[in-house]
């Protein structure tokens, strides 16, 4: 059946789509930065994520954890003996975020279509 998707579900899907796609693009940019800029940018992203983890909202904590891990992977991919492994995980996270964003965008589109 073609049931109408509730507005709050549709809004969550839209936000998750934009967040996933933007996060994936952000990780691509972080991964492509030269060493020094990558270390600085990864550190800043990690610190922002650490700050967001102090929130009481579970969604903010989850986003903070993702930012903290992304920042840490960016720094590790630019220096150290784990650079190859960290770069692989950074690429996997990029693909995962882009895929999640695309899936939520598809669900959002289908939800909008059911409202027409």
pLDDT in tens, 28-64: 998 888 989 999 999 999 999 999 888 898 888 888 8
Could you tell me the end-to-end alpha-carbon distance of the chain, in angstroms, rounded to an integer? Answer: 14
pTM listed for this prediction: 0.82
Tokens standing for 11?
A: 């809004």
**Other beta carbons within 10 Å of 8:** 8
Q: How far apart (Å, rounded) are the C-alpha atoms in residues 31 and 37?
A: 10
pLDDT band at 2, cuts 50/70/90?
A: low
Cβ neighbors of 77 (< 8 A, separation 6 or more) are 31, 38, 42, 83, 86, 87, 90
Q: How far apart (Å, rounded) are the C-alpha atoms in residues 27 and 85?
A: 16
What per-residue confidence (pLDDT) applies to 95? 94
Residues in the chain: 116
CA angle 19, 87, 67 (to 5 degrees): 30
pLDDT in tens, 6-23: 888 888 999 999 999 999
Task: Quote the DSSP letter at residue 79.
Answer: S
Q: How far apart (Å, rounded) are the C-alpha atoms in residues 26 and 29?
A: 5
Q: What percent of the chain clears pLDDT 70, i.e. is strictly above it?
A: 98
């Amino acid at each position: 059946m073609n049931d109408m998707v509730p507005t709050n579900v549709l809004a969550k899907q839209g936000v998750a789509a934009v967040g996933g796609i933007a996060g994936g693009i952000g990780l691509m940019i972080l991964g492509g930065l030269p060493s020094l800029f990558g270390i600085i940018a990864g550190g800043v992203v990690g610190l922002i994520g650490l700050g967001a983890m102090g929130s009481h909202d579970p969604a903010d904590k989850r986003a903070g954890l993702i930012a903290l891990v992304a920042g840490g992977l960016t720094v590790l991919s630019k220096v150290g003996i784990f650079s190859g492994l960290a770069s692989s995980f950074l690429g996997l996270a990029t693909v995962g975020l882009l895929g999640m964003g695309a899936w939520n965008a598809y669900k959002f589109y289908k939800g909008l279509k059911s409202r027409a």
